[in-house]
């Protein structure tokens, strides 16, 4: 009987790998804090500092703006920053090399890591929106929920691919940490996650248009905007995010290093 004949099916392997990567995440308190608690603290602090007042430029309340925008940041952080840093350190410690030496298909190992990142982003998003709904009157019409879900899935997948690409291009966990923080945080400011992007200089706003975070922000926040007409799908934003994600996935497949 061959090894291939006795190997569990891909579905069983993927579920097992997801459970393993999920345990790894929850046993790393710093990752859990910055992916889940930190965005919630940001939202509550912004709501306390600014109050749930009307934002004149947008015609929506502070909470209605910051709940989805910080949810986008939390998702990007879980998918991009955590994946890049954790994968970088796992390579440093020789974990990736040992995994590569097993019969486990590489795509199952990577997919398990990505699924955990997406689920963590979903938990952070649901938590933020629940707090906004219960305490700050954040609302989204039922008809626009599919648009928000699609934007979340496309954005989370794209930033997971970018996180794996960053792990592929950096030489260590320390360098992945530095690059991840140095890229995501400035983009979050430029893309309107922490303050209204209309206050930016024109050149900086155009620079932010190049990168996917602003488009993720736009695609996810549109369904929450009371002025939105229709179902809230932002196809141009989604296309830009998808292009970044597909490009990152292709480059990761080419340059990813297991040791």
Q: What is the pLDDT of residue 6?
A: 62
Tens of pLDDT along 53-109?
887 777 788 899 999 999 999 999 999 999 999 999 999 999 999 988 888 888 999
For residue 143, give its domain range: 8-255
Q: What is the pLDDT of residue 229?
A: 87
* Within a domain: 1: no
* Within a domain: 136: yes
Lowest-confidence segment of 5-9, 14-18, 25-29, 184-188 by average pLDDT: 5-9
Q: What is the pLDDT of residue 143?
A: 95
Q: What is the pLDDT of residue 27?
A: 82
* Within a domain: 105: yes
Task: Please name which of 252, 67, 26 lies closest in space to residue 160, comparing C-alpha atoms.
Answer: 252
Checking if the pLDDT of 5 tops 80, the result is: no
Tens of pLDDT along 162-201?
999 999 999 899 999 999 999 999 999 889 888 776 667 8
* Within a domain: 3: no
7 pLDDT band (50/70/90 cuts)? low
Q: For residues 150, 155, 157 and 163, what is the CA-based torsion angle, rounded to 10 degrees? A: -170
Mean pLDDT along residues 119-131 = 95
Lowest-confidence segment of 78-82, 215-219, 226-230 by average pLDDT: 226-230
Q: What is the pLDDT of residue 1?
A: 43
Task: Please name which of 89, 78, 103 lies closest in space to residue 22, comparing C-alpha atoms.
Answer: 78
* Within a domain: 92: yes
* Within a domain: 19: yes
120 with 22: CB under 8 angstroms?
Answer: no
* Within a domain: 47: yes
What is the total count of domains within the chain? 1
Our CA angle for 18, 219, 235, nearest 5°, is 100
Q: What is the pLDDT of residue 3?
A: 47
Mean pLDDT along residues 35-41 = 88
Considering the chain, what is the average pLDDT of its residues? 90
- Cβ neighbours, 10 Å, residue 213: 27
Q: Where are the alpha helices (DSSP H) in the chain?
A: 3-6, 10-26, 29-32, 38-50, 62-76, 82-92, 95-100, 106-136, 145-169, 173-190, 202-210, 212-221, 235-255
Checking if the pLDDT of 161 tops 60, the result is: yes
* Within a domain: 189: yes
């Amino acid at each position: 009987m061959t090894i291939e004949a006795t190997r569990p099916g891909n579905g069983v392997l993927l579920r097992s790998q997801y459970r393993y990567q999920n345990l790894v995440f929850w046993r790393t308190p710093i990752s859990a804090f910055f992916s889940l608690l930190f965005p919630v603290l940001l939202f509550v602090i912004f709501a306390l500092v600014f109050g749930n007042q009307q934002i004149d430029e947008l015609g929506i309340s502070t909470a209605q703006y910051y709940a989805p925008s910080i949810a986008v940041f939390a998702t990007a952080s879980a998918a991009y920053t955590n994946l890049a840093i954790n994968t970088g350190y796992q390579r440093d410690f020789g974990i990736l090399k040992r995994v590569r030496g097993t019969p486990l298909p590489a795509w199952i190992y990577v997919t398990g890591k990505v699924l955990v990142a997406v689920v963590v982003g979903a938990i952070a998003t649901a938590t933020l929106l629940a707090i906004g709904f219960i305490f700050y009157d954040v609302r989204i019409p039922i008809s626009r929920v599919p648009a928000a879900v699609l934007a979340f899935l496309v954005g989370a997948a794209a930033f997971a691919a970018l996180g794996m690409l960053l792990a592929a291009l950096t030489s260590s966990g320390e360098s992945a940490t530095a690059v991840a923080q140095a890229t995501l945080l400035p983009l979050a400011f430029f893309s309107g996650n922490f303050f209204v992007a209309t206050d930016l200089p024109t050149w900086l706003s155009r620079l932010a248009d190049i990168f996917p975070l602003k488009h993720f922000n736009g695609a996810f926040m549109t369904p929450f905007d009371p002025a939105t007409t229709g179902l809230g799908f932002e196809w141009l934003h989604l296309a830009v995010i998808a292009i970044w994600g597909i490009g990152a996935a292709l480059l990761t497949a080419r340059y990813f290093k297991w040791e």
